[in-house]
Structure 1
Amino acid sequence: MIARHAGTVLVGQLAVMAFGVTDTIIAGRYSEHALAALSVGAAIFVSVYVSLMGVLQALLPVWAELHGAGRGDEVGRSVRQSLYLAGIAIAVGMVALLLPGGALRWTQVPAEMRGEVEAYLAVLAFALAPSLLFRLFSTLNQSLGKPQLVTWLQLASLVVKLPLSIWFTFGGAGLPAMGLVGCAWATLCVNWAMLGCAVWLLRSSAFYRGYALWERIEPPDWQQIRQFARLGVPGGLAVLVEVTSFTLMALFIARLGTAAAAAHQIASNLLAVAYMMPLSLAIATSARVSFWLGAGDAAKARHACRLGFELAMLCALVYAGAMVALRHELANVYSDNPEVIALAALLLPVVAVYHLADALQTLCVFVLRCYRVTLAPLVIYCAMLWGLGLGGSYLLAYRGLGPWPAMQSPLAFWIMSAGALVLTGLLFSALLRWTMQKRAS
């Protein structure tokens, strides 16, 4: 059950990730400058989007438990109340994307990059609302154990996104070349189309009728919204720490030059693709764990958790091995610049270690949310990823750390971040084991 659910989610997640992959390849073929600007712009957008997505994704255990307890009539009202939380998230995200100047200056992104990055983010700001609302639709389907419709929509969107990105970026048929901003316009068009299809499905599909989703929306129930926030906000902040510890690397690396930024973007993109497997398994595992907790069967919840971990670590080993063995070939797909290819190939063995630790901690944090444990992971993330990972990376890259001189290389960021994530995974594993033993007793 978990493997089938995760496989369906994975196909859809890979389709969405292909948005970033295609944009990276298209920007790299357009110009090295566009690829470097994408590295910075994508880092900011991902930090904002994934953090807010984490707030909404954290509602999955709520709806899965209602489903497991046979309280389908309560799902519709809960979903309608979640729209208020989504509205707040959209407003916060749009402000951050429309006003990125402070972050660009603080991280000393070169002035020649800033104009293109700001134009790219301004378009994506208006793609944020449909993207987050579609994520709410996706979370609902995953909690009900029916991710197939979401996957089909995501696959269809990729068929539209690829030609639009190429056309808008390079121009043709009377349209001038837009460069990197063209990729953002393609994303905006596709996101609104996906949301339109999702709304049509919610209105027309017989599957959703038993959940009374289309009743008149109630006034805000602040007690329920606060419950959502107690679960979603720490989860979203934890994702913010995790993602910014990763994406801020791109902003700090940008000062090392376009070759370093481009190589880092290649490594980041490959890691993001690999991350889709543990993410899909974490979503599927948490849906099953919450379902069985809602049904009152703790033993089956633990069994689902154990199966999810076994599958995730096996898949992570396969991905990590492929990244090491094919590092030169993979880098060559993204760029024809020998300097960029060599530097990206140097990063990928460390990226493989990062991925193994990432798979472990992702499964842990999703399952911990099923048991309503959200504050402790946030504290661990702050200490490990921001403190040891990002802070240690900056020192090793630019100041020197202990007996090691400043490396002046993106490799410093990957080494320290991978080490911090390994420790995070081990701490999360211990926390999850303690939580499950406490629940059992």
Structure 2
Amino acid sequence: MVQGRSTSGLRQHGRKIALLAWPILLGQLAVIANGVIDTAMTARFSSTDLAALAVGSSIYISIFVGLNGVLHALSPVIGQLFGAKRFTEIGWEVKQGSWLAAFLTIIGSFILLFPQPLLALANTSPEIQEKVTLYLHTLMLALPASLGFRIYASLNTAISRPKMVMAIQIGALALKIPLNSLFIFGGLGLPAFGGPGCAIATAITAWLSFLLSLALMRSLSSYRTFALFGSGFVKPSWQAQRALLKLGIPIGLSYLIEVTAYTFMALFIARLGDTAVAGHQITANFGTVLYMLPLSIASATAVLVAQAIGAHQMKAARQIGYAGISLAAVLSVASGLVIWHAREWIVRAYTPDPEVIRVALPLFLFIAFYQLFDAIQVTTAFVLRAYKVAIIPTLMYALALWGIGLGGGYILGLNPFQLSMPGFLQGPAGFWIANSTSLALVGLGLVQYLRTVQNKAEAKAAMKD
């Protein structure tokens, strides 16, 4: 009977997670589709521009995701306040998050304005470096709007209302397609910018999305409960900023570590030539699309766990966490099998270049293989953040993804020590083998640590009761 009730509870929580996850998934797919469209359209402009896009997007994503991750500290904070029904405090936290976004914009803009140290790692041709620099300078204009919209998305997701975010993201995607065509290939009197044209389109859609989100928060009655507007000017509070940074910096670092495990792969693989990095770019781009499924489940799970913690329902929080991890794992295995059988069709949909296809096809084995471990690690990490725990997971990410994944990939892929090893372990495949191994290790480590955190949280709650 106990086992039956446990299984029934997992299914019930799984359904709640799925209902919250599907609009998050569609919104995230719309965001990632921007990158897919950029890659596919630029690939048809020139292989040089595709290589520049691979390097430029790797740098920008590393910066944006790291800063974006710091703002993700708002989600568990707002989620717990919402679960505790402390609604007016949510508006104050959102305003503090806005100050934090402004500070982060200054940091990110400086890096995008002077990207030369990062470009030196790629060791690419002067032509590619020039295109990458223009790409990054243009995206500097999009950064404040992108971070501003992240606050709106964090608020809506934390209060279980992600559908409006989804609608804006889908609308931005629909606008991105014609804007990409205009700025990449030229038209209406404008020259063809190639790869950097993607950045111009991104900046336009980012600002439109942000301005629309501001208008909605100000005009819709459903937001008035949170005192977002009309409650007076709020100065940045060091206590609030410190609390957000204490949680947000480890989250941002974990995002940065996870993303740079892939983006630095592109920078290193660029040393092997334009064809190698183009094949890797296609594989990494599609892998990112697949990642959106467990990421959406992770986000939905974390929201429900945070709300349960805020309502002092600690046993429910544990059940919701494990339900989300199980759901993400099962669906990711199924998607991995489908992708492996459809790999040739997928690669050819990206590019007609036979050399790029030759490089990309074998790499899809790793996409199919690491889906399970990727799903487990991201969902578990999000559940830990709902408990406001992020430092230890970040250290695990650094050791596994940078030390084993990127470091091991560098040794296998580039073979700087001239080791005697089979050919299939070298080149881009070497990086993907090491990365897959690191994901498996970090996933197992996070699950074990989650049990410790849950036990401590439940014991602390029991003492208060």
8 A contact 1:110–1:255 mirrored in 2: no
In structure 1, C-alpha distance between the alignment counterparts of 2:268 and 2:121, rounded to whole Å: 10
- The Cα shift of 1:421 comes to 1.0
8 A contact 1:266–1:334 mirrored in 2: yes
Residue in structure 2 matched with residue 195 of structure 1 by the alignment: 210
* SS of residue matched to 1:127: helix
Q: Which amino acid aligns with 1:382?
A: A
- The Cα shift of 1:98 comes to 1.3
8 A contact 2:373–2:440 mirrored in 1: yes
Residue in structure 2 matched with residue 218 of structure 1 by the alignment: 234
Q: 1:17 aligns with which of 24, 32, 36?
A: 32
In structure 2, C-alpha distance between the alignment counterparts of 1:83 and 1:151, rounded to whole Å: 21
Residue in structure 2 matched with residue 295 of structure 1 by the alignment: 311
8 A contact 1:313–1:360 mirrored in 2: yes
8 A contact 1:60–1:143 mirrored in 2: yes
Q: Which amino acid aligns with 1:435?
A: V
Residue in structure 2 matched with residue 404 of structure 1 by the alignment: 421
Q: 1:246 aligns with which of 228, 250, 262?
A: 262
8 A contact 1:59–1:231 mirrored in 2: no
Q: Give the alignment of 1:39-438 within 5 angstroms.
A: 39-214=54-229, 215-398=231-414, 399=416, 404=421, 408-438=426-456
Structure 1 residues 418-439: Cα deviation after superposition (integer angstroms, max 9, x where no partner): 1111111111111112211232
Q: Point out where structure 1 has 5 or more consecutive residues left out of the alignment.
A: none
In structure 1, C-alpha distance between the alignment counterparts of 2:189 and 2:121, rounded to whole Å: 40
Q: Give the alignment of 1:30-45 within 5 angstroms.
A: 30-45=45-60
8 A contact 2:121–2:267 mirrored in 1: no
In structure 2, C-alpha distance between the alignment counterparts of 1:19 and 1:119, rounded to whole Å: 19
Q: Point out where structure 2 has 5 or more consecutive residues left out of the alignment.
A: 1-15, 460-465
In structure 2, C-alpha distance between the alignment counterparts of 1:279 and 1:231, rounded to whole Å: 19
- The Cα shift of 1:64 comes to 0.5
- The Cα shift of 1:329 comes to 0.8
- The Cα shift of 1:110 comes to 3.3
Give me the CA root mean square deviation.
1.3
Indicate how the Cα distance of structure 1 residues 95 and 354 shifts in structure 2: closer, same or farther if over 3 A, else same. Answer: farther
Structure 1 residues 201-222: Cα deviation after superposition (integer angstroms, max 9, x where no partner): 0110111011100122211210
Q: Which moved more, 1:18-27 or 1:399-408?
A: 399-408
8 A contact 1:288–1:304 mirrored in 2: yes
In structure 1, C-alpha distance between the alignment counterparts of 2:398 and 2:238, rounded to whole Å: 29
- The Cα shift of 1:41 comes to 0.6
In structure 2, C-alpha distance between the alignment counterparts of 1:307 and 1:355, rounded to whole Å: 18
Structure 1 residues 309-357: Cα deviation after superposition (integer angstroms, max 9, x where no partner): 1221122112211221111111101111111112111100112223322
In structure 2, C-alpha distance between the alignment counterparts of 1:97 and 1:278, rounded to whole Å: 30
In structure 2, C-alpha distance between the alignment counterparts of 1:217 and 1:387, rounded to whole Å: 45
In structure 2, C-alpha distance between the alignment counterparts of 1:405 and 1:103, rounded to whole Å: 31
In structure 1, C-alpha distance between the alignment counterparts of 2:234 and 2:452, rounded to whole Å: 40
Structure 1 residues 351-383: Cα deviation after superposition (integer angstroms, max 9, x where no partner): 222332211110011111112221111111111
In structure 1, C-alpha distance between the alignment counterparts of 2:289 and 2:333, rounded to whole Å: 14
* SS of residue matched to 2:44: helix
In structure 2, C-alpha distance between the alignment counterparts of 1:277 and 1:401, rounded to whole Å: 39
Aligned length: 441
Q: Which amino acid aligns with 1:377?
A: P
In structure 2, C-alpha distance between the alignment counterparts of 1:148 and 1:400, rounded to whole Å: 52
- The Cα shift of 1:142 comes to 0.4
* SS of residue matched to 1:30: coil
Residue in structure 1 matched with residue 12 of structure 2 by the alignment: none
Question: Percentage identity across aligned positions?
Answer: 41
In structure 1, C-alpha distance between the alignment counterparts of 2:34 and 2:278, rounded to whole Å: 17
TM-score, normalization by structure 1: 0.97
- The Cα shift of 1:173 comes to 2.6
Q: Which amino acid aligns with 1:91?
A: I
Q: Which amino acid aligns with 2:421?
A: W
Q: Which amino acid aligns with 1:335?
A: T
Indicate how the Cα distance of structure 1 residues 401 and 276 shifts in structure 2: closer, same or farther if over 3 A, else same. Answer: farther
8 A contact 1:130–1:195 mirrored in 2: yes
Q: Which amino acid aligns with 2:234?
A: E
